[in-house]
Structure 1
Amino acid sequence: MSHFMQSKLSRSSKTGLVCGALSLLSVASALVSDPAWAMAPWHGPIKPFATFPTPPGFPEGIAVDGNRVFVSGPATFGTAGSGPSKVFVYDRDSRVLKSTITVAGEALDAEHALSCIAVDGPGRVYALSTQLGLLRFRKTGHQYVQESYGDPLPDLPSCATAAPGAACSPVPFETPPIPNDIVFDEDGYAYVTDSLQATIFRYAPGGGAPEIWFQSAALVGGGPQPFGVNGIRLDPLREHVYFAVTFSLADPSLGSIYRLPLVDAPEEADLELVHDYAAGEAPDGIAFGKSGKLYVTLAAANAISVLDEDGDEVSRIESSPWDEVPLDAPANVAFIDSAKTLLIVNHALLTGNPDNFGVLRVWVGDKADPLEKPWLP
């Protein structure tokens, strides 16, 4: 209750104290029993943190490491003939753009994109390229040196047409790989979602070829933009892997949060449903707070859904008419712990409005559940 209201009780007499306390308890009881109060806004105003230059536009990935905030893009289709993918590096406190990492080696006359990113113990940046696989960038002086860390995701045939025993995808028809999000475990394995092949891949410490970690028809996307498995994170106890499915094949208006045990080879029976979004809201990126709450971006609803440890939605972060920049297809979130602030990547995928490309910030009174940042070879 202390987070939402403060009451000044009369100190003039014991009677006043008792009456004031009883009054406070009555108000508290009424509020707790009121569903509208339970979903009332508890966050600060949404403010700009930084713009994301166009080109490339369409930012998606974000990672915070010390006083640096990394933001990657473009994450969109229709990039053939455009410039290279980039990661922009901002100062956490001043919000000034400090440097730009430009991806080398892309075939710019073909589709190319950069989705999500992660950081390891020494502060090296890992980025998922649709063409080049899992890239790593090492800071040397004022520059970042690009390295190839993991091979591109394989283009799997549909299991409906694949040869018996061959690696395949549970999608009903063949689709290309689309690497989307990445998270490390404490041993250095990197888990990568493939939004069009209904697969979570895993890179061993040191990179190389990815292996299939989990597949399921529940991860298959549907609708005009058939993105299935999407954002991915480990829970605070490091017992489960949580991930979003943006659009269900069975019902494209349905999006879900699932979890699996953090084991070497999870099975279909291990898959647990955490929460459904049933109105075409498109859950995308996810992040755990130190509080245990799970923050879920809803790309189509232009909102952040906040789930408690039981998977129940306890609040939403939404734009107000007086916000300078509105939430526009938010893609991913990260925390600035010192300010108890949530950073939100404005992807603006559906509107394509360059004025909305960037990162927003909102006070939530929560810090990050620290991501694993392993020391890798």
Structure 2
Amino acid sequence: MRSLRAPAALLAAGLALALALAPAACARNRFDTRVLAHVGSPGYPALSLVAPDRTIYVGTFTNASGSDTGPSKVFAYSPKGKLLRTYVIKGQTPGSAHGVQVAAIDKRGVLYLLDQNPSRVLRLNPRTGRQSTYGTFFDVSPCVPATPPADCSDTVMDNPPEPDYAAWGTDGAMYVTDYQQAVVWRVPPGGGRAHVWFTDPRLDGSLFGPAGIILMPDHRTLMLDTSAGGATSPPPDSTTGELYKLPILPNGRPGTLTKLWESGPTEGPDGFALARSGNVYMALVGPNVNQLVVISPTGTELARFPTDMSGNNGSPVPFDEPSSVQFDGRRMIVTNDAFFSGDPSHFVIFDVWAGEPGAPVFVPGRKAAGRRYRLTVRPRKTTVGDSRSFRFHATHGGAGLRGALVTFGGTSARTGRHGYATLVVGFEHRGRKTATLTVAGRVVARTHVQVAPESQGD
């Protein structure tokens, strides 16, 4: 057996110090933006979904001219932006403009797509590629005063359906916004024909109505926004978008619609995501706006990025109608729709640093895996007699965990700002060695390193 010589230990300690300082040196600034992946033909990515395993799914949407009559596609990317698989959508209406949005996922990992033509919810199994219709929408007429309640839209114009975003309810129902009909649909648990659950003239943006929707952490309140709204309201209200809260009452009916925030004229609020802090990160898709906006839980506007409307985000590709935001740990996945420019080089998904973790997205029947603690280590193997530097990463809900205690081989260290800790350890006996992660005096996660016997010389 070799002895653990002091010079080697000092060298390893120096390496450990360098590694410990590395996260701080590489720390990202808020809103640091990178191109994660380019989206292939037919392009026009509008909405992304981040699965629990961090696979990113992106659908292709319609274009401004309505000439996209070929099949829509869904692309699957790794967290680093590598294209993993392409799915071609089946059963779309021949000769019509086509587009899908990957709007939801269930506890089994099956994706739920909102298709434009036909107007439906399409279920896609990403493992097998199997597709099937889950729900259907239809054209409803404008509501007529003093007539019995029915499926109708409280609108001025009679527009066709355009399902846009979706959120699960606790009973397994799916709530879907309709961009052109100013309604929130309810697809019953298990699927089937949707029915109008909520409509209001404040959602009537003519062709630009309700867009993003989420179920808030209380699991009793929907948050939704409109790209414009109140077509019968005096200017400039009819051209501004709003962010609303809408309770789901114990009897399953909608409560009172409450406005939280209002955009500027023609800014076009679109997809948004909720941070664990309660802050809302929203994409503004209006022509020549090209910004993300951050809104506090009380409706105060906290920040915009970029500060002007140039779209210059510091990456090689500018914001060109960014249309949706999804959290992946402390970063955001932002789609670049480029709807009016149609520039294929702008069809990308961005990695934008938020600097705070996203709130878990509710999925019926799925345990809150996003809140689990996790501890990983590199390397995972070593040899008896070697003093090595081990780099640990602690996360909670997918985000780096600061200040937690990592213990391994009789030594301990606290994790830094992004959840990293480095320990220099050597072992004199082979076997499976356990490292622990402790929070508030309780061990919450473990990981292991395999120590092999010392190799024998000739």
TM-score (structure 1 length as normaliser): 0.81
> What amino acid sits opposite 2:61 in the alignment?
P
Q: State the identity as a percent.
A: 30
Residue in structure 1 matching 2:325, options 333, 345, 350: 333
Runs (5+) with no aligned partner, structure 2? 1-27, 367-458
Count of residues in Structure 1 that have an aligned counterpart in Structure 2: 324
Residue in structure 1 matching 2:259, options 273, 278, 294: 273
Q: Which residue of structure 1 lines up, in the alignment, with residue 218 of structure 2?
A: 237
Runs (5+) with no aligned partner, structure 1? 1-40
Q: Which structure carries more relative contact order (alpha carbon 8 Å, separation 6+)?
A: 1
Residue in structure 2 matching 1:138, options 125, 129, 133: 125
* Equivalences for residues 96-107 of structure 1 within 5 A: 96-107=82-93
Q: Which residue of structure 2 lines up, in the alignment, with residue 206 of structure 1?
A: 190
> What amino acid sits opposite 2:160 in the alignment?
P
Task: Give CA-to-partner distance per residue, 1:66-122, whole Å, 9 cap, x none.
Answer: 131000112345445631011100011x31110011111112312222134211111
> What amino acid sits opposite 2:70 in the alignment?
G
Q: Give the whole-Å Cα distance in 1 for the aligned partners of 2:217 and 2:188.
A: 22
CA-atom RMSD, angstroms?
2.1
Residue in structure 1 matching 2:304, options 310, 316, 321: 316
Give yes or no for contact 2:333–2:351 (8 Å, CA) kept in 1: yes
Cα distance 1:114–1:81, how it changes in 2: closer, same or farther (>3 A)? closer
Q: Give the whole-Å Cα distance in 1 for the aligned partners of 2:116 and 2:96.
A: 11
TM-score (structure 2 length as normaliser): 0.67
* Equivalences for residues 56-71 of structure 1 within 5 A: 56-65=42-51, 66-71=53-58
Q: Which residue of structure 1 lines up, in the alignment, with residue 349 of structure 2?
A: 359
Cα distance 1:165–1:322, how it changes in 2: closer, same or farther (>3 A)? closer
- Name the stretch that deviates more: 282-291 or 314-323: 314-323
Cα distance 1:102–1:308, how it changes in 2: closer, same or farther (>3 A)? same
Q: Which residue of structure 2 lines up, in the alignment, with residue 149 of structure 1?
A: 134
Task: Give CA-to-partner distance per residue, 1:191-231, whole Å, 9 cap, x none.
Answer: 10001111000112211111211110000004xxx211111
Give yes or no for contact 1:73–1:114 (8 Å, CA) kept in 2: yes
Q: Which residue of structure 1 lines up, in the alignment, with residue 62 of structure 2?
A: 75
Q: Which residue of structure 1 lines up, in the alignment, with residue 282 of structure 2?
A: 296
Cα distance 1:204–1:163, how it changes in 2: closer, same or farther (>3 A)? same
Report the alpha carbon displacement of residue 246 of structure 1 after superposing the two structures with TM.
Answer: 0.6
Cα distance 1:366–1:322, how it changes in 2: closer, same or farther (>3 A)? closer
Give yes or no for contact 2:312–2:319 (8 Å, CA) kept in 1: no
Q: Which residue of structure 1 lines up, in the alignment, with residue 177 of structure 2?
A: 193
Q: Which residue of structure 2 lines up, in the alignment, with residue 48 of structure 1?
A: 35
Q: Give the whole-Å Cα distance in 2 for the aligned partners of 1:330 and 1:116.
A: 16
Give yes or no for contact 1:162–1:168 (8 Å, CA) kept in 2: no
> What amino acid sits opposite 2:37 in the alignment?
A
Report the alpha carbon displacement of residue 164 of structure 1 after superposing the two structures with TM.
Answer: 4.9
> What amino acid sits opposite 1:334 in the alignment?
Q
Q: Give the whole-Å Cα distance in 2 for the aligned partners of 1:70 and 1:211.
A: 27
